[in-house]
Amino acid sequence: MSKHNVKFIAADMDGTLLNEHSQLDPSFFEIYQQLEDNNIMFAAASGRQYYSLLETFKPVKDRMMFIAENGTLVMHQGKELYSCSMDTPSIINIIQTARSIEGTQIVLCGKNSAYIETQDPKALAEFSKYYQRCQYVEDLLAVDDEFIKVAICHFDGTEEFVFPSFDANFGSSHQVVVSAKIWLDVMNAEASKGAAIKHLQNTLGFSFEETMSFGDYLNDLEMLQESYYSYAMENAHQKVKETARFMAPSNKDAGVFSVIRSYLEV
């Protein structure tokens, strides 16, 4: 693999770029500089909110690419390059369905902020990991914003307790994806990290063969499918391992850094 082969690298955050404590190793910024020196673009591709990503990557936030909210919003140097929003009737149906499932906590994700209607301490602590801008409201259905995602948290597991109902009700009309053990995201049917990367390939002039990506969970599948150099983390969901062409060490072992360093040394 030659340095000339890759022009764009995207990495998921939780379970991938971040360690087991959800922390970014400070050595990332040295690696990022090396990528820039080699004219390789790097993007954080995450289910996290754009404003949360800005905080994590503060030293390079004015240079880096951000594929936020599972691909529904792409930002670079403060400018929107791509977005995929949802219509109001869909938002209403999704929220009402989520409310009907016992144990769910809802985050309504708009371009300006995230919105919640709970003050449960455990939920607030979980939300704060991913949403830098988050407003409490009495009724999510009364919020005015441009919405890009509805995130649903269930502490007993979304794959078991939330996905079956949402797949049955919205699977044919929306993108319904289990993004982590306790998180499920509902988006526009056209939305995914892969769709965002495809848009960037078409507009920024790099190809499938020049794309590298890293992921660990089900919301990373489309991104890996749009990347020739697709890496599943050692700690990845089995479906992710079956989709990716290559394997990277686990996030506990800084697998993304290991692969990129090896690539840069070629």
What's the pLDDT tens digit per position in 244-262?
999 999 999 999 999 999 9
Closest CA to 47 of 152, 157, 199: 152
Cβ 149 vs Cβ 72: under 8 Å: yes
Can you tell me the distance from the alpha carbon of 131 to that of 28, in angstroms, rounded to the nearest whole number?
22
Read off the tokens for 17.
């770029």
Domains of the chain plus CATH, in order, are 3-83+191-265 (3.40.50.1000), 88-188 (3.30.1240.10)
Can you tell me the distance from the alpha carbon of 160 to that of 162, in angstroms, rounded to the nearest whole number?
6
How open is the CA angle 102-85-77, to the nearest 5 degrees?
Answer: 115
Helix (H, G, I), strand (E, B) or coil at 55: helix
What is the structure's pLDDT at 3? 57
Read off the tokens for 66.
């951000």
Backbone angles phi, psi at 214, to 5 degrees: -130, 135
Regions of the chain where pLDDT drops below 50:
none
Instruction: Give me the DSSP letters along 206-221.
Output: --GGGEEEEE-SGGGH
Q: pLDDT digit string (tens) for 104-146?
A: 999 999 999 999 999 999 999 999 999 999 999 999 999 999 9
